[in-house]
Structure 1
Amino acid sequence: MGFPLFDLSGRRALITGSSQGIGFALAEGLAAHGASVVLNGRSADKVEAAVVALREKGITVEGSVFDVTSRDSVVEGVARIEETLGPIDILVNNAGMQFRTPLEDFPADKWDLLLATNISSVFYVGQAVAKHMIARGRGKIINIASVQSELARPGIAPYTATKGAVKNLTRGMCADWAKYGLQINAIAPGYFKTPLNQALVDNPEFSTWLEKRTPAARWGNVDELVGSAVFLAGNASSFVNGHTLYVDGGITTSL
């Protein structure tokens, strides 16, 4: 490859929650720059379908089914990848979920589920993978944050809380693990056309509001996150650490 700073050849990337949406797009994008990728999800059928779709494009890909909200499942899943496939050089903590309702009516069980899926998983998978990376003296961790790491909107306060936590956990991971040769950063997407956002995409009132609110005046497309991921996964970002990169069409810059 002619651009060594962005060449991921010989590196293995684990992407959580990657059977669809942003995770799937990032897996395909990292693979296009030379990485072999491992897709993760809780549904064996969805993971297998995603693996088949990428293999049909000639991509080197494997699937690993485990529940990122269960610490035991994560430890076992990561160990299995390291033992059977080889070292995880790049981790993308992408698994996440959303639930929208006014805060005063927000169910406690949905709060617990959001915490487990959006922030506990980042800790569990990050810690399990980092232990192997630390032993090797190198590694890249990319956590998927959000514009909601900075901004709030009615009906999603718990989601906002979890994404704020992802931003600060990224900083904490850097503070603890940079000395071992790891780079830990976050990508904070704005509003992208994904299955998670489909209800909003299909809402003309919301889409009109978003286009007016965003300086770029449109929704993002998931492939527009690939460049940031390749940068943070490769040698180009060797001294970038604890940073949150907003890919949001400018929504966090303007009232």
Structure 2
Amino acid sequence: MNSWNLNHKKVLITGGTKGIGKATVEAFAELGAIIIFTARNKDEVMKMEQEYVSKGYHVMGFVADVTLAKDRLAVVDHIHKLWGKLDVLVNNAGMNIRKKTIEYTEEEYQKVYHTNFFSAFEFCRLCYPYLLAAKNSAIINVASVAGSFDVGTGSPYATSKAAMIQMSKSLAVEWAKEGIRVNTVSPWFTVTPLTTSYLADLERLEKIQKRTPIGRVAQAEEVASAIAFFAMDKASYISGQHLIIDGGLTSGVF
């Protein structure tokens, strides 16, 4: 029997209708997981849920803004009523506003922090009892190469992702004896709706490709595969790790 699967794993994936989040929902569904994914746009959530249900997958959409406490609580209450436990939490929801540091308004940088880091921190805390109930559960946080190196994404985005990386390490140690593994993946430029307009500049894209030993940007499915591995029982001895998915970028001359 093939044990490289996520059969019957109860999973929450935030930011699940686009980019890496959508690719992760698809990868997990194909591997047999039972999934709740979140996003803000009701039409997109319902359309995606119907698409996966029609294929026979166990996928449920939940309309929620991860930056709002009431929405986070609603998601977790749904998990409580539906499952009473959670095997895997994927904190994927994220956003960016590209500006020079002194050009941000407080509202703008707070939005970046609340979407990227504070929502993930709160979901870890809120889901803790359900991850504990599942036993041998896993958290995967989606950060970025920008959390470790300056790649010109803007300081709020970079610091929010750096905070995710360190949070994962701290929680991995704190919760290890309780059977909760915590790991991080940090992609380099990946084809997603968040990067489409940025990568549309052909001169900029060429520079990025030249800096990357593999010579191209990542596809969302390639990042989702790493997330899926961290979620598997096959990765049961892996915790506190930070996997940089960058096509060899940080192994060369930066």
Question: TM-score scaled by structure 1?
Answer: 0.94
Assess if the C-alpha contact under 8 Å between 1:78 and 1:129 holds in 2: yes
* Runs of at least 5 residues in structure 1 that lack an aligned partner in the other structure: none
Say if 2:219 is the partner of 1:196.
no
How far is the alpha carbon of 1:194 from its aligned partner? 0.3
Q: Secondary structure at the match of 1:183?
A: strand
2:206 matched to which residue of 1?
208
For 1:3 and 1:206, locate their aligned partners in 2 and report how far apart those are by CA, in whole Å. Answer: 43
1:123 matched to which residue of 2?
121
How far is the alpha carbon of 1:66 from its aligned partner? 2.2
For 2:201 and 2:2, locate their aligned partners in 1 and report how far apart those are by CA, in whole Å. Answer: 41
Which sits farther off after the overlay, 202-211 or 64-73?
A: 64-73
1:223 matched to which residue of 2?
221
Q: Secondary structure at the match of 1:195?
A: coil
* Runs of at least 5 residues in structure 2 that lack an aligned partner in the other structure: none
1:134 matched to which residue of 2?
132
Corresponding pairs, count: 253
Q: Deviations over 1:106-148 (max 9, x none)?
A: 2221110011000001111111112222244331110001111
Identity of aligned residues (%): 30
2:2 matched to which residue of 1?
3
Q: Deviations over 1:82-103 (max 9, x none)?
A: 3125532111000000100111
2:162 matched to which residue of 1?
164
Q: Secondary structure at the match of 1:226?
A: helix
How far is the alpha carbon of 1:56 from its aligned partner? 3.3
2:16 matched to which residue of 1?
18
Match of 1:182 among 180, 183, 202: 180
For 1:72 and 1:60, locate their aligned partners in 2 and report how far apart those are by CA, in whole Å. Answer: 25
Pairwise mapping of residues 86-101 of structure 1 onto structure 2 (< 5 A)? 87-101=85-99
Assess if the C-alpha contact under 8 Å between 1:134 and 1:177 holds in 2: no
Q: Secondary structure at the match of 2:38?
A: strand
The one-letter code matched in structure 1 to 2:154 is I
For 1:198 and 1:133, locate their aligned partners in 2 and report how far apart those are by CA, in whole Å. Answer: 35
The one-letter code matched in structure 1 to 2:138 is K
Assess if the C-alpha contact under 8 Å between 2:86 and 2:133 holds in 1: no
Say if 2:225 is the partner of 1:233.
no
Q: Secondary structure at the match of 1:196?
A: coil
2:108 matched to which residue of 1?
110
Which sits farther off after the overlay, 51-60 or 226-235?
A: 51-60
Pairwise mapping of residues 23-62 of structure 1 onto structure 2 (< 5 A)? 23-62=21-60
